[in-house]
Amino acid sequence: MPLTYWAEHAWLNGTVEPGVAIEVGGDGLIAAVTTGTAAPPPGAEPLRGLTLPGLANAHSHAFHRALRGTVQIGSGTFWTWREVMYRYASRLTPDTYHALARAVYAEMALAGVTCVGEFHYLHHAPGGGRYAEPNAMGEALIAAAGDAGIRITLLDTAYLAAGFGTGRRYRPPEHHQLRFSDGTADAWAERASARVPSAHARLGAAIHSVRAVPAEALPVVAGWARERGAPLHVHLSEQTAENDACRRAHGGTPTRLLADHGVLGRGTTAVHATHLTSGDIRLLGDSATGVCMCPTTERDLADGIGPAGQLHTAGSALCLGSDSHAVIDLLEEARAMELNERLRTRTRGHWTAAQLLRAASADGHAALGWPEAGRIETGALADFTTVALDSVRTAGPLPRLGAETAVFAATGADIRHTVVAGRHIVRDGGHRNVEDVPAALTKAVAALGD
């Protein structure tokens, strides 16, 4: 049914406006936006605080949420962290993955996320055997997002090798990686093509990395995405070891390898892009390849600080993701991108609060194939979220500074409401579909064992 929301303050086209009525049609689209509305119209749902477009979490591995806390013990590197990740991956079934992802996506909704990009490579049963329904694990994720009330772009990921071998040969998948591999790029494409999208779900493709997808297979994955107009994502230069191995095998950087095989360009998003040469940055910018930064994971894994500022200047649109879910907080990701750049350069003010909010909303949605989302305007999807301006973190600043307050002071805990397709998913800080999200998370993680 059509309804009206009244935002005490709303972020419209980069400006905080007081008293905004947002009319939603029965189709889940915004039918009208009226400013200067001093009080809620009769029957309108009041949204007290600052209402923003829904946030897009452009890079997620839902099952990594089970590692929170566990991987904080002791020291190590990305590669030792990966061994713990494999252990949890080996225990998941379609049912347990659905339960975990449902809770994780509900946690995202509580943090203002209305759309998630799930970088999905956990395709098969332990040992690599196929489920009777070949896409059972992916369907579990799509169902989980629907249950949690958010949208999803399932980025079906090709993962075919364990890494570079001798010369230009690649090593076959190791035991823990057998669940990830379809064997060949053609077999991956055949399985990925069998999935049918639903109203809240869209499909995309992903190349896990240049170490996990042989060079000759890269055009197959890229071609699959281009033919369908689907988003294409790829982990890029997250680790210096990957760069070194790629140079030995192919005589160039991972970015150069992707460029030579037709992967870069509009519609492609490189994830992390932490360790790039100046030539890599030019290749990404000149081709209009987007970049997804995941600052909380990059710092948690001690990966490094990527050249976000240089990428932005070169022409790459930037979006944000929570990746391994050390925390799920897109406001923190936005803040961290700016603060990391301050640490790297020892200067302040690389992005405005408005630019950072766009990275967390409109640009993230565009990277996930939802260009009609991420804006509060007529004709856009009625997906928005409200940040409290009266919490201990946000009280004090003038409301007209709400964008700056949201980015540089608020956290996911300050999200008061989340609306998707015009439907209240989070009201007054409580999830309406998943009654007790902490309990659901506890139960889902416990089911995977110690």
Positive or negative torsion for Cα 86, 295, 231, 51? positive
Q: Tell me the percentage of the chain whose pLDDT exceeds 70.
A: 99
pLDDT in tens, 289-311: 999 999 999 999 899 999 999 99
pLDDT at 73: 79
Of the pLDDT bands very low, low, confident and very high (cuts 50, 70, 90), residue 436 is very high
Position 344 confidence tier, pLDDT thresholds 50, 70, 90: very high
Find where tokens 């509900």 sit: 106
Q: How far apart are alpha carbons 307 and 312 in whole angstroms?
A: 9
Res 92 pLDDT > 70: yes
Token pair of 177 as six digits: 């990686």
pLDDT of 18 above 90: yes
Judge whether residue 450 has pLDDT over 70: no
Helix axes 218-228, 185-193, angle to 10 degrees: 20
**What residues contact residue 163 under an 8 Å CB cut-off, 6+ apart?**
170, 171, 211, 212, 245
* CB proximity list for 58: less than 8 A, separation 6 or greater: 117, 269, 292, 319, 320, 321, 364, 367, 368
User: What residues are annotated to the active site?
Assistant: 272, 323
pLDDT score of 88 more than 90: no
For the chain, the C-alpha Rg in angstroms (whole number) is 21
Q: Residue 158: which H helix or E strand, with range? A: strand 151-158
Q: What is the mean pLDDT of residues 408-419?
A: 98
What distance in Å separates the CA atoms of residue 220 and residue 263, rounded to the nearest whole number? Answer: 10
Q: Rounded to whole angstroms, how far apart are CA atoms 122 and 163?
A: 17
* Spatial contact of 215 and 259, defined as CB atoms under 8 Å apart: no
Structure tokens given for 166: 């001798």
On whether the CB atoms of residues 238 and 274 are closer than 8 A, the answer is yes
Q: Give the pLDDT mean for 225-254.
A: 96
- How far apart CA 414 and CA 417 sit, in angstroms, is 9
Average pLDDT over residues 126-137: 95
Please tell me the predicted confidence (pLDDT) of residue 71: 78
Q: How far is residue 203's CA from residue 118's CA, in Å, rounded to a whole number?
A: 10
Least confident range of 7-21, 58-72, 101-115, 343-357: 58-72
How far apart are the C-alpha atoms of 233 and 60, rounded to whole Å? 12
Question: Which DSSP helix (H) or strand (E) runs through 143?
Answer: helix 136-148
Going by the DSSP 8-state scheme, the letter that residue 413 receives in this structure is: G
Share of the chain above pLDDT 90, in %: 91
Extended strands (E) in 165-272: 170-171, 201-207, 232-236, 268-272
Rounded CA separation 236/59 (Å): 13
- Whats the size of the chain, residue-wise? 450
**Neighbour tally for 36: CB within 10 Å:** 9
pTM: 0.97
Q: Give the chain's largest Cα–Cα span.
A: 71
* Over residues 104-111, mean pLDDT: 98
Strands 3-12 and 232-236, how do they pair? unpaired
Residue 87 scores a pLDDT above 90 = no
Q: Is the pLDDT of residue 77 over 90?
A: no
- Name which of 27-31, 86-90, 128-132, 272-276 the model is least confident about: 86-90
pLDDT tier for residue 367 given thresholds of 50, 70 and 90:
very high
Mean pLDDT score of the chain: 96
**Mean pLDDT in residue range 67-86:** 80
User: Is the pLDDT confidence value at 78 over 90?
Assistant: no
The C-alpha atoms of residue 284 and residue 307 are separated, in whole angstroms, by 12
